[in-house]
Amino acid sequence: MYKIEKIENQKLSGVCLSEGFYADGMSAGLKPNGDKDLAFIYSDVVCELASVFTTNKMAAAPIHHAKGVTQTNFIVINSKNANAMTGKYGIEDLEEIVSSLTQKFSTLHNPLMSSTGVIGVRLPKDKIIQKASEFDLSVKNSLNASHAIMTTDAFNKEIAFKISLDNGDVFNIGGIAKGAGMINPAMATMLAFITTDAKIEQSKMQEILNDVNKMTFNAASVDGDTSTNDTVFLMSSAKSNVTIDSSNEKMFAHALNLVMDFMAKALVRDGEGATKLVTYKIRGAKDNIEAEKVAKTLSNSLLIKTALYGEDPNWGRLAMSIGASGVACDETKLTISYDDVVLYEKGVNLFNDEIEVLAGNVMKQAEFDITCDLGMGEGSFDAYGCDLGYKYVEINADYRT
């Protein structure tokens, strides 16, 4: 048995709670307003590394540079510039930056880089190199790092947990993430960095990350667009007394799921201009694959998103999207609910003035569930989505300028 405790100390939470990890964020002048825009995550030992990257065919330079790497102890992250669609120059600029860091800090091993921001513009490498030379690798300030990686985010996203075993051993896990727009469940659009001091083989860590990612980041949608820079890094310093093996891997997966589920929901909650976080709970599909397909169809639908923004319990848009998803379904077996308010049940439209008021009250909440039971089998899947309003257009119309 084990006990999980959420750690509230912001500076020492996030990526800095795990033993051996350090982080900070600062301004390199990439953001015109002077906000923090450059961060690092450092481990004083070489870490095992598991990664998941975007499925976008126009993947950014940092993705190409990091693919295949299974050990590192340093990641530098910049915001405001994605270093995507920059061709060979993008790789050359990145390599020049990490080479300068290796020369400055002799303890770095396989340094990696992550970037987020505008596509098609070369990195301001001189600014980054100059500021990165001032990094203090003894600092533990996850809060600063989480702020530095933000772009259109309205708030920073960090979380950490301490897991205590019955025998007295303890390990930690935590992370930071950024993302608010260009988020679609094709791995989800964001950067996420997770650290742990549990000792775990790289191959097992990669397997667990893939599984948890499917149910968390890959189940999140804001606007249906898939970024060029999606990245999840999971680093293990192995500095605790806890070894993860077949006897306790479910415990580690549970802890990792807590971190990633929190951050995935935070991304959707912070969707550009969003006012609501909705969990689409698909039940009774023919199988889990079809349930996932329906959940993601609903979470991506612009018609549904705008209805959410207007707090209009228009269940017809849900039925339309389910039918359009291509899965096995039958209107006489379908049931649709907003939280515990049933609007449509197995071919019977229950919608009336009273139900509309009850469902409308559900939609006024900042978070609620929409459950669709297809009545076709045992398949299930949960996906996370948000509403879409005027603010999204405003933010993205002015994003580059």
pLDDT tier, 399 (very low <50, low <70, confident <90, very high otherwise): low
Q: Look up the domain containing 344 and give its range.
A: 277-397
Q: In terms of domains, do 305 and 250 share one? A: no
Q: In terms of domains, do 189 and 90 share one? A: yes
Q: In terms of domains, do 256 and 312 share one? A: no
Domain annotation covers residue 321: yes
pLDDT at position 181 over 80: no
Q: In terms of domains, do 336 and 368 share one? A: yes
Q: In terms of domains, do 290 and 154 share one? A: no
User: Quick check: is 107 catalytic?
Assistant: no
Q: In terms of domains, do 159 and 238 share one? A: yes
Domain annotation covers residue 97: yes
- Contact yes or no for 66/112 (Cβ under 8 A): yes
- Average pLDDT on 36-59 reads 94
Q: In terms of domains, do 261 and 282 share one? A: no
Picking from 222, 218, 172, 226, the residue whose alpha carbon sits closest to that of residue 194 is 172
CA distance 146 to 142: 6
Looking at residue 267, its pLDDT comes to: 85
- Give Cα separations from 400 to 35, 120, 220, 342, 395 (angstroms): 16, 11, 24, 43, 10
pLDDT at position 188 over 50: no
> Across the chain, what does the average pLDDT equal?
92
Q: In terms of domains, do 99 and 133 share one? A: yes
Q: Which one of 116, 189, 231, 335 is the catalytic residue?
A: 189
State the CB neighbour count (10 A cutoff) for residue 85: 14
pLDDT tier, 187 (very low <50, low <70, confident <90, very high otherwise): very low
CA distance 202 to 197: 13
pLDDT at position 57 over 60: yes
- Average pLDDT on 314-329 reads 95
- Average pLDDT on 15-41 reads 97
pLDDT at position 226 over 80: no
Picking from 72, 111, 258, the residue whose alpha carbon sits closest to that of residue 174 is 258
Domain boundary among 244, 267, 290: 267
Looking at residue 229, its pLDDT comes to: 82
CA distance 183 to 230: 9
Domain annotation covers residue 383: yes
Q: In terms of domains, do 113 and 189 share one? A: yes
pLDDT at position 189 over 70: no
Domain boundary among 267, 292, 310: 267
Domain annotation covers residue 387: yes
Looking at residue 10, its pLDDT comes to: 73
Residues above pLDDT 90, as percent of the chain:
80
Domain annotation covers residue 272: no
**Using one digit for the tens of pLDDT, what is the confidence trace for 335-390?**
999 999 999 999 999 999 999 999 999 999 999 999 999 999 999 999 999 998 88
Q: In terms of domains, do 260 and 292 share one? A: no
Which tokens is 21 given? 């990890």
Domain annotation covers residue 204: yes
CATH classification at residue 336: 3.10.20.340
Looking at residue 58, its pLDDT comes to: 87
Looking at residue 153, its pLDDT comes to: 83
CA distance 401 to 399: 6
pLDDT at position 183 over 60: no
- Contact yes or no for 130/78 (Cβ under 8 A): no
Domain boundary among 267, 290, 323: 267
Q: In terms of domains, do 290 and 257 share one? A: no
pLDDT at position 196 over 80: yes
- Average pLDDT on 212-241 reads 85
Instruction: Specify which of 1-15, 87-101, 270-284, 295-309 reaches the highest per-range mean pLDDT.
Output: 87-101
- Average pLDDT on 216-220 reads 88
Which stretch of 76-85, 155-164, 287-296, 390-399 has the lowest confidence by average pLDDT? 390-399
Looking at residue 272, its pLDDT comes to: 72
Which tokens is 302 given? 């612009």
- Average pLDDT on 10-18 reads 90
Q: In terms of domains, do 284 and 257 share one? A: no
- Average pLDDT on 39-67 reads 94
Which stretch of 121-125, 166-170, 177-181, 356-360 has the lowest confidence by average pLDDT? 177-181
pLDDT at position 225 over 80: no
CATH classification at residue 109: 3.60.70.12
If one counts the domains in the chain, the total is 2
- Average pLDDT on 198-210 reads 98
